[in-house]
Copies of this chain bind each other. A is one copy, B any other.
């Protein structure tokens, strides 16, 4: 069986030996973004249940072909996770490492735990970057990692992510991840959507502070509505953050009433 340790101990991809294989299911904005990064180390087969193979980048395969690889990465929206995991389950071989990259962790990992056969490993990840924030490279950026069934393999995955991609790996639990992300992503995405909904006119007079706001909005302005709902609605702690945001907004605007 393919062993992550083989990669983890390599300082760089070793082109002399056979490359490990990886199946990437889902080639939307995020899947297409990580594909070239994955291809530096893996022979990648790509499949997208919602798109024609002819429209996909890289080497494509059917669902069964992708499911037979040593590592299978599910880069599909949370709403499709159950359907995709159910469809791929019969094709997975013993010892396969199934990795998800959802922006929440409690819900997708519960689905995978329920739907996938006991003979595969599950690793929850959340790359804390995307096509915008990673457009100049991903070295030095952060990824959250939730160990699944095999703790030793999760430790190897951590070393691999550090060495192969230069990522800063934060090991956490699905609950702690979602609790923090309800603020980290909830606030940035809600605020950015509000600013976008305001349709702010072009402004010549900009402060340094406004430049920070603009950078925040620009980072998420092209994210899909599905991602927005995952982050700001489907996170189990999102409702609490939305309530506190609404309450704080009311307080601050009240303080500004004309006296």
Identify the A interface with B (CB < 8 A): 126, 128-129, 133, 141-142, 144, 170, 172, 177, 180-181, 183-185, 187-195, 197-198, 200-201, 203-210, 212-213, 215-216, 219-220, 229, 232-233, 238-239, 242, 244-246, 248-249, 251-253, 256-258
| A198 CB to nearest B CB, Å | 5
Contact call A245/B198, Cβ cutoff below 8 A: yes
Give 5 nearest A-B pairs by CB, closest first: A133-B208, A212-B216, A197-B248, A209-B219, A188-B209
Contact of A238 with B256 at beta-carbon distance under 8 Å, contacts A184-B203, A195-B187, A206-B142 already known: yes
Contact call A133/B207, Cβ cutoff below 8 A: yes
> Whole-angstrom distance between the alpha carbons of A126 and B144 in the complex?
43
Contact call B208/A185, Cβ cutoff below 8 A: no
Which one, B207, B216, B244, B258, contacts A184 given CB within 8 A?
Answer: B207
Contact call A170/B233, Cβ cutoff below 8 A: no
> Whole-angstrom distance between the alpha carbons of A239 and B257 in the complex?
9
Chain copies in the assembled complex: 2
- Which B-chain residue is minimally distant from A212 (CB atoms)? B216
> Whole-angstrom distance between the alpha carbons of A209 and B144 in the complex?
15
Residues of chain B within 8 A (CB-CB) of A251 are 197
List 19 interface pairs A-B (beta carbons < 8 Å), by A numbering. Answer: A133-B207, A133-B208, A170-B205, A172-B204, A180-B204, A180-B205, A183-B200, A183-B201, A184-B203, A187-B195, A187-B213, A189-B209, A191-B213, A194-B245, A197-B252, A198-B245, A209-B220, A212-B213, A242-B253
> Whole-angstrom distance between the alpha carbons of A183 and B251 in the complex?
19
Contact call B216/A187, Cβ cutoff below 8 A: no
| A213 CB to nearest B CB, Å | 5
| A119 CB to nearest B CB, Å | 31
> Whole-angstrom distance between the alpha carbons of A252 and B193 in the complex?
7
| A97 CB to nearest B CB, Å | 22
* Most chain B CB within a 10 A radius of its CB, from A191, A205, A215: A205
> Whole-angstrom distance between the alpha carbons of A185 and B212 in the complex?
12
Contact call A212/B212, Cβ cutoff below 8 A: yes
- Which B-chain residue is minimally distant from A233 (CB atoms)? B256
Contact call B180/A203, Cβ cutoff below 8 A: yes
Contact call A216/B219, Cβ cutoff below 8 A: no
Contact call B208/A141, Cβ cutoff below 8 A: yes
